Amino acid sequence: MIPAAKHDIAPAIPGRRGGGRSFARKAADSLTHAVMEVLENEEIAARPGLLQGLDPRVKLLSLLLFAVTASLVHTVAVLVGLVTLTLLLAAASRVSAWAFARKVWSSAGLLVLLLALPSATELITPGSVVVPLGPLSLTSAGLWGAATLVARVVAAAGFALLVVWTMRWTDLLRALSAMRLPGVVVATLAMAQKQIITLLRTVEQIHLARESRTLHRGTAAENRFWVTGRIAFVLRKSLKTADDVYDAMLSRGFDGSVRSITRLRMGAKDYAWSCAAAALCAAVILIDRLVAM
């Protein structure tokens, strides 16, 4: 489903003040956006970029290695360098640097910043006061610790997002299978992704059906009652769908292993990237130790 244009989303309907969107309309738009994000990730993974051209196993292991390296670094300057590296890799992979940075900060950066700010106060981290705010004054040691935590999480989240955005879901599952992850785990991930999209579509259609048959927003109590009923319906539907899918798989000879037609082959580019990634991670840790001394 293609989301409606912005000027078509909220038509003026009798009983709505200022023609604002109803509860059902807002929920349906949010669900549509969630589904479109999944489809957009598939489109990004198909682009001819740097990371898209790597073997899924190499890409997964190397980016996880970068994320682990970020968790071992204690210097803010080095962590900022790793954050910059995520932006460079995103640009080299035909991903909008602005969209990438916005996604990282909206999903991880802002949350960690809010959690880290209390630790920067004088009550928790004593030290020289930088921003006097009475009992909540910010200290230099506290701000430095908060900046380190935020930069570390943003760098690790950036590498993790690169895995999701530059790899098709089927390739990721194939890479996990090749790395000897238990077949039941891979099968669960494969079915979960497909069923989540199906359920999102179902919930979206439910909300749109209510929107098309409603002339007023309704009270808060009515909306809560309606949402509760829809949650119960989707839960029952998901359980029944899971049973039906599993029975269908068993009837077709499913034995717990996930097979794929994708053949993984490593080339010279994959070996070169692996060596470069390992060397860069070692250099980052060495520089961090030298700067911290």
Mention every residue, 6+ apart, whose C-beta is less than 8 A from residue 257: 183, 187
pLDDT tens for 250-283 read: 787 776 666 666 677 788 898 999 999 999 999 9
- Whole-number average pLDDT of the chain: 78
The helix (run of H) or strand (run of E) holding residue 129 is strand 129-131
* Comparison of pLDDT for 16 and 53, the residue scoring more: 53
Check: pTM over 0.85? Answer yes or no: no
The three-state (H, E, C) secondary structure of 110-127, written as one string: HHHHHHHHHHHECCCCCC
How far apart, in whole angstroms, are the C-alpha atoms of residue 214 and residue 105?
37
pLDDT tens for 66-110 read: 999 998 998 999 999 999 999 999 999 988 888 888 888 887 888
> Is the distance from CB of 22 to CB of 214 less than 8 angstroms?
yes
Answer yes or no: is pLDDT of 35 > 70: no
pLDDT tens for 160-177 read: 888 888 888 778 888 887
> Is the distance from CB of 98 to CB of 56 less than 8 angstroms?
no
Specify the amino acid at residue 60: L
Site of tokens 């670094």: 73
Determine whether 221 is exposed, middle or buried from the number of CB atoms within 10 Å of its CB (0-12, 13-18, 19+): exposed
Q: Where are the domains of the chain?
A: 18-45+179-251, 51-167+265-292
